[in-house]
Amino acid sequence: IPLAAVGYLDGTLAIYDVSSQSLRHRCQHESGIVELLWEETSPVVYTCSLDGAVRLWDSRSGKMISEYLGHTSEILDFALNKEASIVVTASGDNQAKVFCVQQPDR
């Protein structure tokens, strides 16, 4: 099933079924989503937000897989390494952080 993900400033992550043009899942951050990343070969959607958290979501179920905290301010940008095992974040608290990511089986 082809899916699309959209992050909103109200903290909503919406996952849509492209074929039927319908909302499949609605997930929630505590604050606005700044950016999202979605690996082409994985069901995992990565989000970062104004609440200083990185969250991993299962696009198939809409459930949060894991959460990475440590910033005292909003995350402004983030990136994944090629294997999607490391997330690097940059925050308004003038810090960069590196998180080792545990992913479920693909």
Domain boundaries, the chain: 3-100
Distance CA 55, CA 65 (A): 7
pLDDT grade for 83, boundaries at 50, 70 and 90: confident
Q: Using 50, 70 and 90 to split pLDDT, how confident is the model at 105?
A: low
pLDDT score for 6: 96
pLDDT of 100: 94
62 close to 74: Cβ distance less than 8 angstroms:
no
Class of domain 3-100: mainly beta
